[in-house]
Amino acid sequence: MLIDRPVEKDWAFGAKIKKFGLRADVTGAKLYRNGENMIIYGLKNCDTCRKALRSLPDATLVDVRAEGVPEDVMTRAYAQFGAALLNTRSTTWRGLDAQEREQEPLVLIAAHPALMKRPLIDAGGTLYLGWTKDVAAQVTP
């Protein structure tokens, strides 16, 4: 059961509702934007992912090393962002040999999750890559 009313603070569940249009589940565990869960795919030790999580405190961080990224999300992200999904500036990339670098980006990311550009944000089915001012302006309430 979802609470579908504009409130500033729901004391019963401790869920802070910052803006109209957000809904809280009755356990108060998660907040929703446009009826969907906001998920940040990244690394728990990545500074950029930490910045995004601080700006989006109601989002859920999924550590791609520990949990991975669902295949359907990766397929949508690759279709939307293409080769930009691959972080060619990382130390993991520099450690790969030429033969490994020629593999398909999705295969490389599956084998080496740290190669994914971070963060990948799923906000109600809309994907955003990286944490720039433009992305922050679009996803912050």
Would you please indicate which residues are annotated as catalytic (active-site) residues? 46
| One-letter amino acid for residue 132 of the chain | T
Q: What is 14-72 written as a DSSP string? A: TEE--STTEEEETTSS-EEETTEEEEEEE-TT-HHHHHHHHH-TTSEEEETTTT---HH
**Token digits of residue 141:** 């309430």
Length of the chain: 141
